[in-house]
Amino acid sequence: MKIICIGRNYAAHIRELNNAIPDEPVIFIKPDSAVLRNNAPFFIPDFTTDVHHEVELIVKICKTGKSIPQQFAHSYYQEIGLGIDFTARDLQNKLKEKGLPWEKAKGFDHSAVIGKFISKEGLDLNHLDFSLQKNGEVVQSGNTEQMIHNIDAIIAHVSQYFMLKIGDLIFTGTPEGVGAVKPGDELRGFIGDRNMFRCAVK
Ligand code: ZN
């Protein structure tokens, strides 16, 4: 199982980090050791003092495919979920400055919070509200209509490079409002008003 993540997919988030709007999706991968499930706590690793939350809609792949045409992409997923792409922002900025890959800042152990999954049936995936609360206050909220590349476009693009397999997960990018977490924080993610995960920061 692999986790494919899309960077810079929401214009307001691109602006808050002073990045350029990409003409095709920015892709990176987290290893399976990054998974943090079942509302388990997140321990801030020693190598960073600036871990940011990035709440993201997650797509779970249900069929193997390569070079999937966009018009057929919808048949490769039945469920969506919500999670956090934890990012060691200080480390990422150092790596970016040197033009090096982001893996240490993005793919470290337990950096991928994964909540429960729900059927996509009956959901309007192009107009879906989601949000992240930190200590009871909304810190990030987005709607999938703000995505630069929608789910089907992401699947079409990603699958040109990486064969998608059953159980693979795609993190579809974060809206604005990313910020640092500290020990004692509690994060809760929502699709609409449905609670998808909680995560205590230690
Ligand atoms: Zn992200």
Report CA(95)–ligand 1 centroid distance (Å): 16
Cβ atoms 178, 140 nearer than 8 A: yes
Could you tell me which of 59, 74, 66 has the C-alpha nearest to residue 9? 59
Report CA(182)–ligand 1 centroid distance (Å): 18
Q: List the CATH number of the domain containing 64.
A: 3.90.850.10
What pLDDT is attached to residue 11?
A: 87
In order along the chain (202 residues), what is the average pLDDT of each group of 10 residues?
95 86 90 97 98 98 98 98 98 96 97 98 95 98 95 97 98 97 98 97 98
Which pTM value belongs to this model?
Answer: 0.96
H/E segment holding residue 52: strand 51-53
The strand pair at 112-119 and 137-143 is best described as unpaired
Report CA(87)–ligand 1 centroid distance (Å): 8
What pLDDT is attached to residue 20?
A: 85
SS3 state of residue 182? coil
Report CA(35)–ligand 1 centroid distance (Å): 14
Report CA(123)–ligand 1 centroid distance (Å): 23
Overall residue count recorded for the chain in this entry: 202
Report CA(201)–ligand 1 centroid distance (Å): 18
| One-letter amino acid for residue 36 of the chain | L
What pLDDT is attached to residue 192?
A: 96
Report CA(85)–ligand 1 centroid distance (Å): 5
- How many CB atoms are located within 10 Å of the residue 12 CB? 11
What total of structural domains would you count in the chain? 1
Domain containing 110 equals 3-200
Report CA(55)–ligand 1 centroid distance (Å): 7
Beta carbons within 8 Å of 18's beta carbon, 6+ residues apart: none
For 166, how many CA atoms within 13 A lie in the half-sphere containing its CB? 2
What pLDDT is attached to residue 16?
A: 86
